[in-house]
Each structure stands twice: as C-alpha cells, then as structure tokens.
Structure 1
Amino acid sequence: MKFTVLGSGAMGYRYGVLLQEAGNDVEFVDAWKPNVEAVRKQNGVFVSRDHENKQLVPIKMFYPEEYTGNPDVWVVFTKQMQLESLLQQMAPKFNDNQYVLTCMNGMGHVEKLLNYFKPEKLIAGTALVATVLNGPGDVDFIGARGAGTMNLANYTEKPDEMTHKIVTELKKAQFNPTLTTNFLGTLMAKVVFNSVVNTLCTLFEITMGEFASYPGADELSRQLINEAYDVCERANITMINSRQEELDSVNYVSKVANPLHYPSMYQDMSHNRPTEVDYINGYLVELGRKYRYEASTHAFLTHLVHLAEHTRHH
C-alpha cells in the first residue's frame, strides 16, 4: 500500500518508518526546512530506540509544493496550529479516492480534514506511542518494539474493506491497533488522557513517571478526568473507557509503559514553540460551555500553560 506522511515530526516519522519497514511504499512531506534539508543531506532519518542503536533509515522526503505523489492513504501528523495552512498547500494533490488517517493530539483537526476529504474516507484515532524528535532528521522511538497501542475509528463509524486493509498494515507495523465504531468516544479518550499528563508534566517540567510517583497524583488525575467526563456526558459523547479505566490508563502509561517520557507538550514548551493546550484542555472548556457547564479546573490549567508560555517569552 502507498502511504504519504504529512507532517514529519516525531510521530510522523514513527508511523512512516514502521509502515515502510512493514513493506509499504512510504513518502514523507514536511514544511520545516531544517528537517527536509537534514534528511536530504544524510540520505534518510536517524532512528534510535530509547536513546540507543542510532541508525540511518533511508526515506523519501519532499516539501509540500514539490510533492506530486498519489498515495492510497495520507497519514496526517502535523501540529494543530499548522494544519490548515498545510492542507491548503496540499489541496491540489488530494483526490476523492484517497483515504486519510490521523492520530493527532487534541481536537479541531477532524473538521479541517473534512473540508478536503469525504467523510467515509476519514479515519481518526489516538496513539499511545511515545516518540521524541531529537532534532531535524533525528528521531527516538521510546519503548520496546511493539510497546505502544492505538485506537482508531471511521468518521462514519462504518468500517469498509479499505479500513480493514489499513488496520492490517498497522498491525504488521506493530502499532497494536484496535478498530472501534465509536468515533468521538475514541478520540476523546486521548484528549482526556493528554489533558492530565501532558499539561501537568509540562507545567512542572517532569516525566510521566515523576508525575505518577507523587502521592496525590490519582486525586489530581481524578479531578480532571471527572470534569472532562462531565463535559462529555452533557455533549452526549459515549466514552470508550469508564472514568476508572481512564485513570488506570493514565497510571499504566505513566508508571509502566513510558515513565521516562516527557510528553509532546513539554517538548514544545521547552523549545519555545506554542503548545496545543487550547486543543486539549481548552477544547474541553469550550465544549463544556456549549452545554452551560464550567470545566473550571481545565480552564485554570489552560491559563497556567499560557502564563508559562508568556513568561518564557519575556
């Protein structure tokens, strides 16, 4: 199958490289010049696993304006803030036969993608896979091979033959995919997860394991999870996990799967890039307000992240 990765950062590299290793034809598109130039200069991307065994993996990388390929599936992994401009640039290359798969953090991307792709061709999900971009053309896969999991669902909640083929390739690439027929519940499970771990680890500049080792971590997590689930109930979103299962997921990933991992929001903050907090905690706040519910802890945390961004820039 032919895949084209749109937005070749940490997760774009992870999906693209592993799909390529599983025998697919994969190309990469990115707008970040240092990244594209590094890949061209070294003839590939350097891939490590848990900071070890760094090796060069040959890949094909293009700027948006020069890309002419026609993939079966676009794999979209850019940052929420950059998505619209990238889609506008790529619009002439999209056609009605192509599928789009995305596991981006936060919410807001689905509505943008639906402006370019048919609803029945959109598959979105969540990736519990830790990856770090060390720098241009240099990525580190965190966790043993096959350690992560992912959930995905069709926008229409009606899996077709092509969806099952995509899931088969993701299985071969060891992403451990679970196909659901609950679109919003699947996406919101990761938003809620990120609204706890990403935000708190970023504010205190700590790893997930350091967060989980705090004796009051469960109480903090529970307060944020309960508020988020209250919002989802009012919005008639059926979650794929119970509140307790969501807490268990936070604990498992933080204590067992990726205790040494700094979440992507921390990586953005530490490099003075804008964070995606408005698409995570901020999204829950806005959704709650639609239903006259104030997710006040999430609102407070959104402000704290913006305050941290503001003070770093002054």
Structure 2
Amino acid sequence: MKITIAGAGAMGSRFGLMLHKGGNEVTLVDGWPAHVNQIKEHGLQANFNGEELTVQLPVELQSEIHSEEKTDLIILFTKAMQLDKMLQDIQPLIGAHTNVLCLLNGIGHEDIVEKYVPMENIFIGNTMWTAGLEGPGKVKLFGNGSVELQNLGKNQEQAAIDLASVLSDSGLNAKYSDNIHYSIYRKACVNGTMNGLCTILDTNMAGLGETRPAHDMVVTIVNEFAAVAAHEGVMLDIPEVIEHVEECFNPETIGMHYPSMYQDLITNHRLTEIDYINGAISRKGKKYNIPTPYCDFLTQLIHSKEEILKAK
C-alpha cells in the first residue's frame, strides 16, 4: 500500500518505520526543515527497542509537495494546531479513493478533516504507542502499543476493519472499534494528566507517580474529562480510566517516558497542544456550564510556561 505519514515527528516516524518494515511504500511529510533535510541526507535514525537502525525513506517538506501521484492512505500525526495547514499543503496527494486516518492527540479533529476529505474516506482513532524525538532525523522507539480506529462514514465498517489489518500486518496491533469516541476520551484522560503535569513538574511519568499528590490530581482531572464526556453521551468508567492512567507510572513499562508535551516545550521550546487537550475540556466546560477548575488552571500554567520559554 502507498502510505503517506503527514507529520513525521516521533510518533509519525514510528508508524512510518514500522509500516515500511511491513512492506508498504511509505513517504514522510513534515514541516520542520531541519528534520526533513536530516532524513534526506542521512536516513531516519532510530533506536528501535535497543537496536540502532538507519532507514532510507522518501521525505518531503509539506510546503514543497511536488508529486501529483495520489496516495492510498494518509495517516495524520501533526500537532493539533498544525492540522489545517498540513491538509491544505498535501491536497495534491489526496484522490477520490484516498483514505485518511487521524490519530492526533486531543478531541474534535474530525471537524477539520471533513473540510478536505469526504466523510466516507475518514477514519479516526487513537494509539497507545510511545515515541521520542531526540533531534532532527533521530527517534527513540521503545515498548509495545496498540491502535483503535473507526470509520466516520456510514457503511464503512469493513473498510475500517481492513485498515486495521494493514496496520496490524506491520506489528502496530490495530483493531476496529465500534465506540471510538469512548476510546478517544479515555486516551485524552491520559494526555490530560500525564502531559501537562509532567511538563509543569519537569519529570517523567514515573517521577510524577512517586509524588504524594499525584493520585488526587489524576482523580480530579479524570472526573472533569468524564463530566464533559457524559454531556456528549460518552459515559466513562471512571475507576477503570483512573487505573488505566496510573499504569503510566510504572517504570518497568513506560514510566520513564517523558510525554510529548514535555518534549515539545521543555526540550525543544515548541508550542504545545494544551488547547486541544485540557483546553478543549475547559472550553466545553464553559459551553456546558460544567466546572473544570483543574483543566482551566493547567491550561493557563502551560501557556505561561510557553511564554517564559519563548516557545514557537
């Protein structure tokens, strides 16, 4: 299958590498010139579960798409605030039969994708894989993960099942879900706790879990997410979600990982996705008249940190 990874940062690079190893024709597209140039000149360098790999993959700067050849599948892995521009830039690659799978962190991205792609070609999902970007063209990929996805268009269930099979054939452990919005909110609870708290407290997830207030903070934030989700007809199993979130603290699994928001802001002084995670809950809370004080405050703290570090 001809696959384009739109947003070839840490997670996009992981999916690109694994899909390439699975025998697919993969092209990376990204908006960071240094990253693109490094991959062009030296290949994608990856520490893949302790094995050092260099993989030669086609890569293009999103503002310089030259090909008119349509792709079979686009997997979206941009930062949330970059999604609209990416879809504008890759229009030459999108044909009548191009499927688009959106795996971004956060909530509500399908509203943007629908502006560029017919509903029957849109699939949304989430992933529990982890990845780290160590510098231009260099990623660290460790641990195991999974993908859940669902079709947005009517009567496209088989297409979603087939898409999950393509991903699973490359070791990505994908499965079809008939309730993806539940899974997206469940994943958003992980992002809404681990990302912001680890970034503000300057620690990895295991370090956060070792602090005495960690459990109470997780409980409060998950309850805010759950209250908003319930208003939208998504009923989270709160105790199970809290347990799921706190599994991230385990240093023997992914606890030593620094979340993507930490990597963006603390390591690279880049703007974060906070407005599409806790900020989204804050906005929806105001809309639905649901108090979300922890999400409100955490969003403000991250924005203040962005200003202090002059993030761009």
TM-score, length basis structure 1: 0.92
Tell me if 1:112 matches 2:112: yes
1:48 is paired with a residue of what secondary structure? strand
Please give the per-residue CA displacement for 1:180-235, whole angstroms capped at 9, x wherever unaligned. 11232222211121101111001011001111122332211011101110111122
**CA separation in 1, counterparts of 2:152 and 2:186?**
16
- What residue is the counterpart of 1:68 in the other structure? 68
- What residue is the counterpart of 1:202 in the other structure? 199
1:152 is paired with a residue of what secondary structure? strand
Paired AA for residue 122 in structure 2:
L
In structure 1, the gaps of 5 or more residues are: none
Contact 2:189 2:245 in 1 (8 A): no
2:90 is paired with a residue of what secondary structure? helix
**CA separation in 2, counterparts of 1:216 and 1:121?**
44
Tell me if 1:163 matches 2:160: yes
- How many pairs are equivalent? 307
Paired AA for residue 266 in structure 1:
Y
Cα distance change of structure 1 residues 56 and 308 upon mapping to structure 2, 3 Å threshold: same
**CA separation in 2, counterparts of 1:47 and 1:311?**
32
- What residue is the counterpart of 1:262 in the other structure? 258
In structure 2, the gaps of 5 or more residues are: none
Shift of residue 107, structure 1, vs aligned partner: 2.4
Shift of residue 178, structure 1, vs aligned partner: 2.9
Tell me if 1:192 matches 2:194: no
Shift of residue 282, structure 1, vs aligned partner: 0.4
- What residue is the counterpart of 2:307 in the other structure? 310
Give the root-mean-square deviation of aligned CA atoms: 1.7
Contact 2:148 2:180 in 1 (8 A): no
**CA separation in 2, counterparts of 1:149 and 1:211?**
24
- What residue is the counterpart of 2:247 in the other structure? 252
1:274 is paired with a residue of what secondary structure? coil
Shift of residue 124, structure 1, vs aligned partner: 1.2
Cα distance change of structure 1 residues 135 and 32 upon mapping to structure 2, 3 Å threshold: same
Paired-residue identity, %: 29
- What residue is the counterpart of 1:48 in the other structure? 47
**CA separation in 1, counterparts of 2:151 and 2:295?**
28
Shift of residue 157, structure 1, vs aligned partner: 6.9
Residue correspondence of structure 1 range 8-27 to structure 2 within 5 A: 8-27=8-27
Q: Which moved more, 1:290-299 or 1:58-67?
A: 58-67
Shift of residue 63, structure 1, vs aligned partner: 2.4
Q: Which moved more, 1:156-165 or 1:198-207?
A: 156-165
